[in-house]
């Protein structure tokens, strides 16, 4: 290599690494380069990890590029360039690693043949292993709905301070149950094979009640209570099923393989159903087939249900981001034309885009549904290119992703409803770190508080050390069975609700009508809501067209609340829903609305 040529080390779009810099040797993320040859080098770090940096369109999703340019001399065969991230020789405390542990955190090596020319990938396997820390908390996960006739499983996770499984944990825990007798053992010692997580199987609750399970490691000062679990004396018609319908892998701009995403969703997050939704504009037919193949392999009803999905990622002025969810494999990926650049080797640049506008996407899906007799969900969401309330089709889009790792976006979602669309509320993670169902909020200061501005308050590409908000929004679906048909039907009927990730039990109805229903009435509607939470409830509020009309404020740190209200007048043509907030600002939920004609 000679003067003007360069090598580069790149990290992915959303990776969690620090921001390389070369101007302050005493600050974090200081980067240096040296050579064994007789050459002069210039280090050009990205300086910032904002979305639209100078390399975004040419190299997305590997746009965070640290270049090392030869400014003088020749680098001969056998001579080396050594790049140090977090060079501490002059006082830098190091380089920030991602919060998420993984066996292979990948980098990409690139090179430039001519001054100012295009960087191209070189065949070098660059990765590091990110290890979890020691256990800092315990996490207990019960199924939300059980009955006295069938056994169930309970997950206990030992986590480090970033929410990773503390795989080295060997503590002894004691277990207790509030609500009545159970078959849960009194003591358990974690072993090597557990790797920080144990699944207790064959558990029974022995009478109908609301239960919570507690787990303690007294020697480490760790203690945690589970989510509430309601036990019936016989199987009920509807049970709450938990899912995440928005996640990304290394197939698009996430980290981790598709198989790792499905495995985490099933085994660690303990989800009932899951869809991987890699970006349309990054998938050719081979990648789309791979995502579908892995979804098929992991589908195992009633234990774990998978769907086929992709994210249609048009810019906001042509509709904005929507997740397309199929219940059957072998259906097409209708691509938008976002970020199309023939120079970018990582973006689909073939001839078949399929749908350049959301209206065109709806038309293509309508023809597909009629021809193939299939059902399709198209779910608008907020982060990236916010979905545009100018366009919606209630047939394909019966719900909207009100919350994700981008925050709680109620005002944005209400923009659709106030235009007359009938949309239920769901949450999903939009995870990019390989932790579907249990990710991290973009903005640690806001967490899952109300998001009222764009862009994000904090740069999601440069989190401060140890300051991430753990857990990510979920969708709770009221379904008779945990299979594709039941889950799909319940979402189409809007029998679902959104939580910030806490497994809150929420019931909202008007007479015999469930959340999500639409009905006509000559009489003033009477609404009933009940909630059981993880943390103490501060407010259970009924909202009409998004504005509070009635509320309940429990006392004595209660984890249960009920609301009853009749709207005496002006009820036709309005929609109603309930929202619960707790003493923990990260734990909240909102029902899908009920519409009165």
142, 148, 152, 153 alpha-carbon torsion, rounded to 10°: 40
What number does CATH give the domain 240-501?
3.20.20.140
Residue 355 has pLDDT above 80, yes or no: yes
Q: Is the peptide bond before 455 cis (omega within 30 degrees of 0)?
A: yes
Structure tokens at 342: 């023939």
Helices marked H in 474-593 — which ranges? 484-492
| Alpha carbon distance 119, 39 (integer Å) | 20
Per-residue pLDDT, 459: 54
Q: Residue holding tokens 């369109």?
A: 57
> Element (H or E) spanning 285, and its range?
helix 285-298
| Alpha carbon distance 556, 400 (integer Å) | 35
Per-residue pLDDT, 457: 45
Neighbours of 522 (CB within 10 A): 5
CB 80 within 8 A of CB 490: no
CB 586 within 8 A of CB 446: no
Specify the fold of 137-236.
Answer: Immunoglobulin-like (2.60.40)
| Alpha carbon distance 473, 440 (integer Å) | 9
Per-residue pLDDT, 50: 62
Mind giving me the DSSP string for 407-434? EE-HHHHHHHHTTT---EEEE---B-SS
Neighbours of 595 (CB within 10 A): 20
Global confidence as pTM: 0.95
Query: Which residues share a beta bridge with 197?
Result: 157
Nearest to 384 by CA among 339, 335, 417: 339
CATH of 504-597, one of 3.40.50.300, 3.40.50.1820, 3.90.230.10, 2.60.40.10: 2.60.40.10
**Domain 137-236 shares a fold with domain 240-501:** no
CB 196 within 8 A of CB 159: yes
| Alpha carbon distance 106, 144 (integer Å) | 37
Per-residue pLDDT tens for 407-436?
999 999 999 999 999 999 999 999 999 999
Nearest to 478 by CA among 463, 492, 468, 459: 492
| Alpha carbon distance 192, 330 (integer Å) | 41
Q: Residue holding tokens 């923990």?
A: 584
CB 545 within 8 A of CB 574: yes
Say which range, 87-91, 215-219, 335-339, has the weakest mean pLDDT: 335-339
| Alpha carbon distance 336, 318 (integer Å) | 10
Per-residue pLDDT tens for 253-304?
999 999 999 999 999 999 999 999 999 999 999 999 999 999 999 999 999 9
Per-residue pLDDT, 454: 47
DSSP character for 431?
B
| Alpha carbon distance 14, 62 (integer Å) | 9
CB 399 within 8 A of CB 424: yes
Nearest to 229 by CA among 178, 166, 185: 178
Give the mean model confidence (pLDDT) for residues 482-494: 97
Give the mean model confidence (pLDDT) for residues 70-75: 96
- The pLDDT-based confidence of 189 (bands split at 50, 70, 90) is very high
Per-residue pLDDT tens for 464-477?
555 667 889 999 99
Per-residue pLDDT tens for 21-43?
999 999 999 999 999 999 999 99
**Torsions phi, psi for 414 (to 5 deg):** -65, -25
Domain assignments of the chain as residue spans, ordered by start: 6-130, 137-236, 240-501, 504-597
């Amino acid at each position: 290599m000679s003067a003007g040529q360069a090598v580069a080390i790149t990290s992915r779009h959303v990776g969690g690494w620090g921001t390389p810099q070369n101007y302050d040797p005493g600050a974090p993320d200081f980067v240096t380069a040296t050579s064994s040859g007789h050459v002069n080098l210039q280090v050009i770090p990205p300086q910032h990890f904002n979305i639209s940096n100078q390399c975004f369109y040419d190299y997305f999703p590997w746009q965070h590029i640290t270049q090392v340019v030869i400014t003088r001399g020749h680098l001969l065969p056998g001579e080396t360039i050594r790049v140090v991230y977090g060079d501490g020789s002059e006082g830098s405390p190091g380089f920030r690693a991602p919060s998420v542990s993984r066996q292979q955190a990948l980098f990409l090596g690139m090179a430039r043949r001519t001054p100012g020319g295009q960087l191209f990938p070189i065949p070098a396997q660059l990765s590091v292993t990110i290890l979890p820390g020691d256990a800092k908390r315990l996490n207990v996960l019960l199924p939300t709905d059980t009955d006295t006739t069938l056994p169930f499983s309970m997950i206990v996770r030992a986590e480090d301070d970033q929410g990773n499984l503390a795989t080295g944990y060997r503590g002894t825990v004691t277990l207790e149950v509030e609500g009545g007798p159970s078959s849960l053992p009194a003591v358990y010692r974690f072993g090597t094979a557990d790797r920080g997580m144990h699944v207790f199987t064959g558990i029974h609750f022995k009478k109908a009640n609301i239960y919570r399970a507690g787990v303690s490691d007294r020697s480490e000062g760790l203690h945690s209570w589970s989510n509430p679990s309601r036990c019936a004396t016989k199987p009920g018609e509807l049970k709450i099923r938990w899912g995440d319908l928005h996640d990304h892998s290394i197939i698009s701009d996430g980290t981790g393989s598709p198989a790792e995403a499905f495995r985490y969703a099933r085994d660690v997050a303990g989800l009932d159903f899951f869809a991987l939704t890699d970006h349309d504009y990054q998938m050719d037919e081979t990648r789309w087939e791979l995502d579908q193949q892995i979804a098929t392999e992991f589908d195992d009803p009633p234990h774990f249900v998978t769907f086929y999905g992709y994210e249609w990622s048009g810019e906001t002025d042509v509709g904005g981001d929507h997740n397309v969810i199929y219940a059957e494999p072998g259906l097409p990926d209708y691509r938008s034309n976002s970020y199309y650049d023939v120079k970018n080797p990582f973006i689909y640049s073939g001839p078949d885009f399929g749908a350049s506008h959301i209206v065109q996407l709806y038309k293509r899906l309508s023809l597909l549904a009629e021809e193939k007799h299939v059902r399709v969900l198209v779910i608008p969401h907020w982060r990236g290119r916010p979905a545009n309330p100018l366009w919606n089709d209630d047939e394909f889009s019966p719900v909207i992703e009100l919350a994700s790792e981008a925050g709680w976006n109620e005002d944005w979602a209400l923009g659709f409803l106030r235009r007359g669309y009938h949309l239920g509320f769901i949450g999903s993670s939009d995870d990019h770190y390989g932790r579907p169902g249990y990710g991290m909020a973009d903005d640690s200061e806001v967490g899952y508080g109300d998001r009222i501005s764009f862009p994000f308050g904090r740069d999601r590409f440069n989190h401060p050390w140890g300051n991430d908000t753990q857990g990510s929004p979920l969708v709770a679906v009221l379904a008779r069975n945990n299979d594709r048909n039941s889950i799909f039907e319940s979402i189409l009927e809007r029998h679902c609700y959104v939580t910030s990730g806490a497994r809150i039990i929420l019931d909202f109805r008007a007479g015999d009508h469930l959340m999500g229903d639409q009905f006509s009435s000559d009489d003033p509607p009477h609404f009933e809501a009940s909630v059981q939470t993880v943390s103490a409830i501060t407010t259970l509020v009924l909202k009409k067209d998004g504005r509070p009309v009635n509320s309940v404020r429990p006392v004595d740190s209660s984890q249960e609340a009920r609301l009853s209200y009749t709207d005496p007048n002006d009820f036709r043509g309005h929609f109603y829903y309930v929202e619960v907030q707790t003493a923990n600002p990260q734990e909240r939920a909102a029902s899908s609305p009920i519409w009165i004609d």
